[in-house]
Structure 1
Amino acid sequence: MTAKKFSKAAACYEEHAKVQAKSAQILFDWIGSRKRFCTLDLGCGPGLHYSTLNTVSNLVVQLDLSESMLSTSEEGHKVCADMDALPFQENVFDLVFSNFAIQWSQDLNSLLLNLASVLKPQGEAYLSIVLEGSLNEVKKAYVDSNLTSNVNNFTHLDTLKRDIETSSLKLQTLEQVTLKDVFVTPKEALQSIKRIGANHTLMPTQACVGLGGKSKIQSILSNYPCNNGIYEVTYEVALLKLTKE
């Protein structure tokens, strides 16, 4: 299901992934300019970060679950695989980069253990992950419309910290940031989630089929929170630097 959602969004992902670009830039600032030999871009999507990662690495391997996302990029070495089943030997990568992807893991603790395995000793992982508290505007619109929403249950920060502690990776830096996309209509705000492939949240057209569907859609749009004439989509994001000792 996750691969299907992101495959549909492949063509328009870059245009709408504004929040993702902000978190990526923070991670790039942390990475700096020191050259590494081999880098893994985990959950690479349409390869937006290949050029930047290529400047700090002799070899960039791009991994994504969606073939459509991978086909959008014409550069680099590509691997179509599940992040929860990494197809790599131990001690391969000097650097792992992952932006707005690992929240889709079915077992985050296991994923972190696997990242430790594929990293070389003294290797580094720079990751961003969406946290609980994200998409609250969407949740509120559904609640105020007396409808049940299927907004993703993202991981809590305390749970993330525990998963890191039980992995063999050492936490060097953790920063939580609030990132917002802004839109001029509530419909655009809701559609923005679909356009980056992250619409595990039920969208109005999906949730409101059948008798009375139009009135439910209108209720959701009417109840979407408005802040001085703009409609926001908020993401709580943890930015991490981890190392393998």
Structure 2
Amino acid sequence: MLALNLPEKHRIRQSFDQAALRYDHYADFQRQVATRLADWVPKSAGELALDIGTGTGFGSTLLVQQGWHPIGLDFSSAMLRQAKQRGLSHWRGVQADAEALPFQDESLSLIYSSLALQWCQDLSRPFAEAYRVLKPGGRFVCAVLLDGSLHELKTAWQQIDSHQHVNDFFTLNQVNFALAQKQIVQSQLICEPVVCRYATARALMQDLKGIGASQIASHARQRLTKGTLLQLEHAYQQYFSEDGALRATYQVGLIEVRK
């Protein structure tokens, strides 16, 4: 829990606290990835499962459907309050940090985490914690955003100014290094591109703001003026799809670890 007091993590937590009430309205992509990751979750007859970065609890809903009794872990108390309102049976929330899990060694059969661990500075720490908590024979499945995500938005901004407006994401080498740090040998990693479509670049920016991810990057704090947004719309025009919408591509890493 001490890790929650670090300035950078405090800022991230504050951003997600502020987004909690509106999160579900903007989280279509997040739900899509969570559902895809749930394909890797086996059926259960009521065992405990940990949902790291549960947010408003959509992933926990998927775990319940597979027969698990989920523990929703998040370091945003506001997100946990929203998750509680789903009224899931056998669900309980825990406010804690993915890098310091408050569970005993070898105590859980399944750990699930969808689009949460990219906010950690070093993947090896949450990976090591998840591996510690897993029972022998247990399974850890997670989805993280990888380098190359939102490359259209990043390229468009580079035509306007030199500030960082798009968060940095882990490379495949960094993910593999994190797995190697714990000498995890039973694992698989799949990278799947997911293309979202928007009517305007402004709509994409509103989505990112709506889920609390628009101002995570430490350098992306410049106030956006109307003129700047008009420049962004113009720069983004090269990414029109055949259906007339603007593309936004995410590179999603799906990871499975067995202990």
Tell me the TM-score normalized by structure 2: 0.85
Aligned partners of 1:169, 1:182: CA distance in 2, in Å? 37
22 and 223 in structure 1: CA distance in 2 versus 1, 3 angstrom threshold = same
CA RMSD of aligned residues (A): 2.0
**Structure 2 CA distance for partners of 1:166 and 1:36, relative to 1, 3 Å:** farther
Aligned residues: 239
Identical-residue share of aligned pairs (%):
28
- 1:112 is paired with a residue of what secondary structure? helix
Structure-2 change in CA distance of 1:219 and 1:55 (3 Å):
closer
Partner residue of 1:12 out of 10, 22, 26: 22
Q: Contact 1:54–1:60 at 8 Å: present in 2 too?
A: yes
Answering whether residue 237 of structure 2 is matched by residue 227 of structure 1, we say no
The residue aligned with 1:218 is 230
| Stretch of structure 1 that moved more, 96-105 or 50-59 | 50-59
Would you say 1:98 and 2:113 are equivalent positions?
Answer: yes
Distance of 1:201 and 1:224 partners within structure 2 = 22
Q: Which residue in 2 is equivalent to 1:161?
A: 176
TM-score w.r.t. the length of structure 1 is 0.90
Where do 5+ consecutive residues of structure 2 fail to align? 1-10
d(CA) in 1 for partners of 2:29, 2:143: 11
Gaps of 5+ in 1: none
The answer (yes or no) to whether the contact 2:29–2:196 under 8 Å persists in 1 is: yes
* Displacement of 1:206: 5.0
Is residue 128 from structure 1 mapped to residue 146 from structure 2 by the alignment? no
Offset at 1:87?
Answer: 1.4
| Equivalent of residue 178 in structure 1, options 193, 204, 226 | 193
Structure with a larger share of its residues in strand: 1
C-alpha distance in 2 between matches for 1:173 and 1:107: 19
CA contact (8 A) 2:44 2:68 kept: no
> Which residue in 1 is equivalent to 2:122?
107
Structure 2 residue 192 is matched with structure 1 residue 192 = no
**1:51 matches 2:61:** yes
The equivalent residue for 2:41 is 31
Q: Distance in 2 between matches of 1:110 and 1:141?
A: 33
Q: Tell me the CA shift for residue 24 of structure 1.
A: 1.7
Question: Tell me, what secondary structure is at the counterpart of 2:40?
Answer: helix
Give distance in 1, aligned partners of 2:166 and 2:131.
Answer: 30
Cα deviation, residue 187, structure 1 = 0.7
